Amino acid sequence: MTVFDSYEREQWRGGTAAFARTFATLCAHPADALLAAAGVAGGTRTLDVGTGTGTVAALAAARGAAVTAVDAAPGMAAAARRSVPAAAVGVGALPALPFRTGTFDAVLANFVLNHVGVPAAAVTELARLTRPGGRVAVTIWPYPQPPLQALLGKAVQAVGVQPVELPRLAAEHDFPRTVAGLTGLLSVAGLTGVTVRRLDWRHRTTVADWWAGLDGGIGAASVLLAGQPAATRDRIRAALERLAEPYRSPAGDCAIPTAALLAAGTVPA
Ligand SMILES: C[S@@+](CC[C@H](N)C(=O)[O-])C[C@H]1O[C@@H](n2cnc3c(N)ncnc32)[C@H](O)[C@@H]1O
């Protein structure tokens, strides 16, 4: 396991409730498009990798698919098991999952490749688990960051707090978080007919909900916030409120632009 994997694994150990309140609703946006890209329908043997609280698994089950789901974090797997009783849910981590080669017709990973130390090895594993002619479909967050994802960084900068250095992907394992970069990653893993498209949308949230996710024990944001005195955290939150103001909707919540890259490919027959 790489240093980055160990860091990520630790990050996802807690925070299931905070994730469900905030980031799960954000990650849900491309889920239907992901299932369509993988051709998931009635009877499709489907694996949802990094299922989180089970959003994609639930939608696949609603389409009549035979759903298996795994997550590296036991707390997430437990939450998915509760929310998708029709799915077989277990604990498992990329890049080595406990299934035979070619077990599934469709293998999905919604915003999971951002969290693995060797993305090429992870995609190779997704392809291994898919039968010849089956489909692999994934999403990632693009870089440069869309406005929603950039909001905390701007708030931190606005109050003059020094960003913390977090473990990064080793340069030799990294790839550009762009249409071309993701196309290359899936192609290197041997997938054919790879398509990648960018989805843009406005995520509706309140600053209270967004803050709950940032401050709730998940990811880089929580590491940064956990290291700040209460007064500094209050200033960062106030800056977040100010920066979110231009996105305020008439209903009182915020509609903040964000984006994802959705990629799919076929395992050669
Ligand atoms: C951003 S969340 C996405 C969750 C879910 N796919 C969704 O759309 O709501 C990333 C998930 O990947 C899981 N994860 C992180 N590293 C993983 C790995 N190496 N193998 C499997 N799951 C992993 C985390 O525990 C977390 O549940």
Domain residue extents for the chain: 3-145+166-202+259-266
- The reported pTM is 0.95
Q: Hey, which of 11, 22, 47, 115 would you mutate to test ligand 1's pocket, going by the most ligand atoms within 8 Å of its Cβ?
A: 115
Assess whether the C-beta atom of 110 lies below 6 angstroms from ligand 1: yes
Q: Which fold has domain 3-145+166-202+259-266?
A: Rossmann fold (3.40.50)
Tell me, what's the pLDDT at 123? 98
95 upstream amide cis, omega within 30 of 0: yes
Ligand 1 centroid, distance to 159 Cα (angstroms): 31
Assess whether the C-beta atom of 236 lies below 6 angstroms from ligand 1: no
Residues 6+ apart with CB under 8 A from 191: 123, 127, 136, 265, 266, 267
Cite the DSSP H helix spans in the chain.
Answer: 3-11, 16-21, 23-27, 31-37, 55-62, 74-83, 119-128, 147-158, 179-188, 207-214, 219-226, 230-244
Q: Hey, which of 55, 56, 71 would you mutate to test ligand 1's pocket, going by the most ligand atoms within 8 Å of its Cβ?
A: 71
Tell me, what's the pLDDT at 217? 63
Q: Give, for all 269 residues of the chain, the pLDDT tens digit.
A: 888 888 888 888 877 888 888 889 999 999 999 999 999 999 999 999 999 999 999 999 999 999 999 999 999 999 999 999 999 999 999 999 999 999 999 999 999 999 999 999 999 999 999 999 999 999 999 999 999 999 988 998 898 887 777 788 989 999 999 999 999 999 999 999 999 999 999 999 999 888 888 877 667 777 788 888 899 999 999 999 999 999 999 888 999 999 999 999 999 99
Shortest-distance atom of ligand 1 to CA 5: 19
Name the token pair of 76: 């997430």
156-182 burial by CB neighbour count: b if 16+ within 10 A, else e? beebebeeeeebebeeebebebbeebb
Assess whether the C-beta atom of 116 lies below 6 angstroms from ligand 1: yes
Tell me, what's the pLDDT at 248? 94
Assess whether the C-beta atom of 49 lies below 6 angstroms from ligand 1: yes
